[in-house]
A and B are shown apart, each in its own frame.
Chain A
Amino acid sequence: MGYGARNQRNALLKIAEKLGAPIATTYKAKGIIPEDHRLALGVMGSVGTDPAKRIVYGADLLIVIGSSYSDLTSIPSFIKQVQIDHDPMMLGRKFPVQVRLLADIGTLLPTLDNRLEEKHNDEYSGQVADIKTQWERKKHDEISSSTPPIRGPQAMHALQETVDSDAIIANDVGDNSLWFARNFVATDQRILISGYVASMGFGLPAALAAQLTYPDKQVICTTGDGGFTMVMGDFVTAVANNLPITVILLDNAKLAMIETEQDEAGVPHFATNLQKIDFAEYANSCGGEGFKVEKPGELKSAIQKALASDRATLVDITTDPRRRWA
């Protein structure tokens, strides 16, 4: 399910439940369906979950709705698929697709629902549930340590446990957004990302625009020390306009995603160390409120305090510079 399927949550869930079909989303579509639904697999692709990858790649048929088939989503070309989109340019955009339906998604889905029969495949449902259970266990292992340094998954878990269900969350770009896409379980939150351009520095401006537009909603920016420093002068814009945004900053003093790319390319790590900044202090000097967190056990209370504050806040989370998969 891609961004084009937004606003169709109920119709989509109805069809998925009828077919017993698990649902993976693109990163941009994260949050369109609640990720704690029994059929939800999470985000598909390079910043995605294991269940999404395993189940999508093992499927007999994919129904792809409102997706632009970004390379990073990695929808496999070798699986039979039915594609639905309102833009003819998107149909078969990356490779030939067996069935292409050109339609306004909101208009088509009820029609589709009427013509589909209920389907029960208990064996398949069992497999899906097993894969999801394994994933939950893996995620649990990722957050179980209480010794520093804090790991990305732990920060995301703490955020998940404290944030409002209808908050607006603006993601920046980098390992910080990977952890969010992969580990944060979205229920009803609106999520803003820089999709195709994937520009660092998107998170803070997006949070500013969101809080200006919805003054009564909880607005969060998830970011890293890399992306934040590109736009950090505008944290004071939040203070100046009395915008009580909360910046969740994963600080590993690195361009960590670049180091992973260097690893994959077989070149040494270079030009990826970022000089440390005391971001909590910076937030204070802007007239906002900074919270520094270095131990996993301190995460939840720090985030809670930041979210509850009526001032612009920044939670400066010192994280493990190594990306570690459990």
Chain B
Amino acid sequence: MKMPALEVTQLTKHYQGGSGRVTALEAVSFTLEGGRLLGVLGPSGSGKTTLLSIIAGLLRPSSGEVKLGGSAVHLRSAREAAAFRRGHVGLVFQDHHLVPYLSALDNLLLVPHLRGHVGDADRQHASRLLAEFGLEQRAHHKPAELSGGERQRVAIARALMNSPEIMLVDEPTSNLDTERGQQVLELLRDQVHRRGTTCVMVTHDPRMAAQADQTLRLVDGRVATNSAAS
């Protein structure tokens, strides 16, 4: 059996809310093989984004384990987690979070810049990605000059700049109409399969989740269904 790229075991996360302790995730366990797209589905408040944040090392779990390529993510310090994200994780935010005063090209180059150096190879890689995403004519446009779909494509291209081991994608189609949302999803799926990148995509849309290689349905912080188990 192929070794899973991502292993989540008995993951639990509690928050201290105004009305006492809130359980965002409880005993969540699943595995994901490398080069596959996992769709995490669930209603608002089901713990989808908390799960994504813990896998990214942005939050620490209350208990449980997250292993990426066999390495424990949940044990990393904030500094180690930041360094890991710079080198190995591709993040796509719901609101794209492109830097508004940077062009599409510079938004991609931000990733190697955060690693400390932007070389010619990085520039060529960024230009190639923009071309692959049909954005070569928009390379020097700022986010405000791009359409919603273009912005989300730039965000996905940025997430691929560091050739990540895993892509973590948060509601990539929520701000797009159905047609553009479908285009973005197909682009994402195509990139994941062609590059062999493991991807976790959070969505509230069952039609989008259904197009993933594997789906995980969360309800009230627990795994309701896991397509890999069925």
The judgment on whether A and B are partners is no
Residues of chain A whose beta carbon lies under 8 Å from any beta carbon of chain B: none
Residues of chain B whose beta carbon lies under 8 Å from any beta carbon of chain A: none
